Amino acid sequence: MRRWVAGTEQSAVAEPSIRPPGGRAYWCDACRVPLLQSPCSVCGQDGRAVSSSNMRPVFAGEIRSLLALGAPSWLGPPRDFALWESGGRYYMGGYAIARLRRAPAPRRVSVEPIGKPAAQDARRRRSPLMRRLVAANYPRLRELEHQACVFIQEAVSVYPDRTLVVSFSGGKDSTVVSHLVRTALGRADILHMFADTGIEMPDTYRFLDTFRRDRPSVPLMVIRASADFFQLCHEIGPPSRIQRWCCSTQKAVPLGSVVNAANGAKGVLCFDGIRRAESSRRNGYLRITTKTKIGREVLASPILDWTDLEVWIYGLSAGLPINEAYLRGFKRVGCLYCPLNSAWSEALTALHYSNEHELWIATLRESACRAGHPDPDAFAQGAWRARAGGRGLASFRASVAASPCESHPHRVSYQTTGDWRDTLWSYIGMLGKLRIWHDDGMIAVGVLQDASGADLMSFRAVRPRQRLEVTYADGKGHRLLRQRIERQLRKYQSCVSCGACAAICPTGALSMHDSLIFNERLCTFCLKCVSMNCVAVESLTLKGRSTGAD
C-alpha cells in the first residue's frame, strides 16, 4: 500500500481508492441479504445486481411511518429488515415492490406499488438475519475496517502534535467514525465535539444522552451556536439551497471557535464522517485536507469512500447505537430545517416532530409576508428553498453607495448605512497596516500602509454623516484595493456577528464578541478572511430579476 504524506493534495489523491465496484447494490438470492461484494461469503453464489444506487435497511418504525402516510397495508407488518430501500424504491427479497412519489403538500409523498411482495420475507426473524447479513459481507467489512484504521493511525503519526477530535453529529456516519477512531487508536479518551445548531432533531438530543450514558469514558463536548437560527432568519432571510448560511453560522463557526482555542497554534486533527456518496458536490473532497472553514484544523475523513450500505452493515456488525430518527425512516440525521432535506424527510418531520414543523412553517410565512412575497403559503410550503437573493430583505446593506470625486481621479466617497461603528477599522485593518493620525471623535484621518510602510490609501471618516472618503494611492494595485475595500464595506454593513471570518483566521487575529475585533499584531495578512464569502452579504444581495422565488 502506498503511503500518503498528509497535507499535500497530490498525495492525498494518490491514496488507493476503496470504492466498491460501481457503488451498486447486490443481493444474494440464497441468503436473502444485500451484499457489499460478490460472491456471497456464506453460500459462495454470485450476487444479483438489484439497483444502480445504494441500499439501506428499513426498520419497523419506517414501515409504520409509511403506513401513517397512506401506504397500502401489504407493506407491513412492521418488522426490521423486512424491506430495504434504494433510490426511493422499497425492495423485498431483492425485488422492488413499491416506490415513493412526490405528492402535493401537506402529504408531500405517496407510496405506489410496483410489484408483488414476497410473503416469506415479511415473516423472517431479526437475529438470524442479522448474523447472516454480517457473515455474508464479512470479507468486505474487515477490509473496510482495516483500511480505515490504517488511515487513522497514519494521520495521527503525521500530525503528532495536534489535539485529536471526532466531529460528532449523532448520525450513523460519525458514529461509525467515532468507533473506528477509538478502535484504531486503542483508546476511548478522544474528544468528541457535537455542534448543536439549535435546530437538531429531538431524536438526536436523546441519542446524545444515550451515547454519553453508555460510553462514559468518551469525552463528549456539546458546542452550542451563539447565533440564534430564527433571529438570523429574521435578519438575512431563511436559508435556501443557494443561501446555506446556516452551515456556517450554526455549525462551522461554533466548532471553529472551540477548535481554534483547543490547542493554540499547534491546532487540531479532526476526524469526521463526510462521504462522497452523500452528494456529487463532494466528488472533489480529499481524504485529508487543511482547506476547511476552520483555520487551525486538519480534517481527516476515514470513511470518505464508503457507501451507505457499507456504513449501515458495518455499524450493525459492530453493534453501534442507532439514532431513533433512522428507525422512523429518515435517511439522514441533521438540521430539522435544512433546505436540502427531501420531500420524504419533510413528510417525516411533519409526522414525527409536528411542533417543530409548525413553528418552521409559521416562520417562513412571516418571512414571506414581511418581504412582500406574492404567495406566502407557496413560499412556506417549498418555494423558500429556491430563494436566491435578498429581495424584500434589507438588501441595501449588501451594496455600497460610492461617489467618485470629480476633482481627484482616485478619490471615492462612501456613504455607509446605519449608525457609524468603529468596527469598520477592523474590516479595513485586515487589508494592511491601519494608522490613524488624527481623531477628534467626529472626524478621523489616517492611512492604510503595506508591509514596507508605503501608503496604499489615505482616508477621512466623518462619523456624524456615516461617511468614509478614501483616496487610493496611484499605482497598479489601486483597482484591486478598491474592490477589496468595497467588499469589506459590504461585510461591515451586513454583519450579523456570526463569527465566520473569525473562525477561518489561522492565527487568532480575528475574534467575535459582540462585534468583530481585529488584532493587527497577530495578523499575517493572509487575506483568508477577506477572500471568504460573507454569508450575510450573499443572503442579502439582490440577484437577477424578480422571479417570485426571491
Hunting for cell 407488518 — which residue is that?
77
Q: Judged by CB, which is closer to Zn ion: 31, or 141? A: 31
Q: Which of 193, 215, 208, 188 is nearest to 269 (CA)?
A: 193
Integer distance in angstroms from the first to the last C-alpha of the chain?
51
Hunting for cell 430579476 — which residue is that?
545
Q: Judged by CB, which is closer to Zn ion: 12, or 40? A: 40
Within residues 111-130, the interface with Zn ion by CB under 5 A covers none
CB of 31 to Zn ion, least distance (A): 3
Q: Judged by CB, which is closer to Zn ion: 94, or 273? A: 94
Query: Does the protein bind Zn ion through residue 30 (CB under 5 A)?
Result: yes
Find the helix or strand (DSSP H, E) in which 472 lies. Answer: strand 467-472
CB of 39 to Zn ion, least distance (A): 8
Using the CB atoms, write b or e for 78-110: b if 16+ within 10 Å.
Answer: bbbbbbbbbebbbbbbbbbbbbbeebeeeebbe
Those residues with Cβ within 8 angstroms of residue 299's Cβ, 6 or more apart along the chain or in another chain? 270, 272, 274, 288, 289, 290, 292
Q: Near Zn ion by CB under 5 A, which window of 23-31, 245-253, 269-277, 423-431? A: 23-31
Binding mask 474-503 for Zn ion (x = CB under 5 A): ------------------------------
* CB 51 within 8 Å of CB 66: no
Residues 320, 179: Cα–Cα separation, whole Å: 8
| Residue 139: how many other CB atoms lie within 10 Å | 11
Torsion of CA 308, 311, 317, 319, to 10 degrees: -110
Q: Judged by CB, which is closer to Zn ion: 94, or 238? A: 94
Q: Near Zn ion by CB under 5 A, which window of 26-34, 253-261, 367-375, 404-412? A: 26-34
Q: Judged by CB, which is closer to Zn ion: 30, or 114? A: 30
170 Ramachandran zone, left/alpha/beta (phi>0; psi -120 to 50): left
Q: Which of 326, 323, 311 is nearest to 80 (CA)?
A: 326
CB of 131 to Zn ion, least distance (A): 13
CB of 28 to Zn ion, least distance (A): 3
Q: Near Zn ion by CB under 5 A, which window of 19-27, 32-40, 299-307, 483-491? A: 32-40
DSSP conformational letter for 200: B
Question: Directed axis angle between helix 354-370 and helix 229-236, to 10°?
Answer: 20
Q: Judged by CB, which is closer to Zn ion: 24, or 64? A: 24
CB of 282 to Zn ion, least distance (A): 32
What is Dmax (Cα atoms) for the chain? 88
Beta bridge partners of 85: 56, 90
Q: Near Zn ion by CB under 5 A, which window of 28-36, 272-280, 430-438, 512-520? A: 28-36
CA angle 158, 162, 163 (to 5 degrees): 135
Q: Judged by CB, which is closer to Zn ion: 43, or 549? A: 43
Q: Judged by CB, which is closer to Zn ion: 135, or 434? A: 135
Q: Judged by CB, which is closer to Zn ion: 41, or 240? A: 41
β-pairing, 510-512 with 516-518? Answer: antiparallel
CB of 42 to Zn ion, least distance (A): 4
Residue among 12, 28, 327, 496 that touches Zn ion (CB under 5 A): 28
Phi and psi angles of residue 192, each rounded to the nearest 5 degrees, phi first: -105, 130
CB of 19 to Zn ion, least distance (A): 23
Residues in contact with Zn ion, counted by CB under 5 A, come to a total of: 6
Phi and psi angles of residue 458, each rounded to the nearest 5 degrees, phi first: -120, 160
Q: Near Zn ion by CB under 5 A, which window of 25-33, 255-263, 313-321, 349-357? A: 25-33
* CB 115 within 8 Å of CB 285: no
CB of 30 to Zn ion, least distance (A): 5
Residue 57 preceded by cis peptide, ω within 30: no
Q: Judged by CB, which is closer to Zn ion: 91, or 330? A: 91
Beta bridge partners of 163: 268
Which position's Cβ is nearest Zn ion?
40
CB of 94 to Zn ion, least distance (A): 11
Binding mask 499-528 for Zn ion (x = CB under 5 A): ------------------------------
CB of 2 to Zn ion, least distance (A): 33
CB of 24 to Zn ion, least distance (A): 17
Q: Judged by CB, which is closer to Zn ion: 46, or 228? A: 46
Residues 200, 89: Cα–Cα separation, whole Å: 27
CB of 36 to Zn ion, least distance (A): 12
Within residues 33-72, the interface with Zn ion by CB under 5 A covers 40, 42-43
Q: Which residues bind Zn ion (CB under 5 A)?
A: 28, 30-31, 40, 42-43
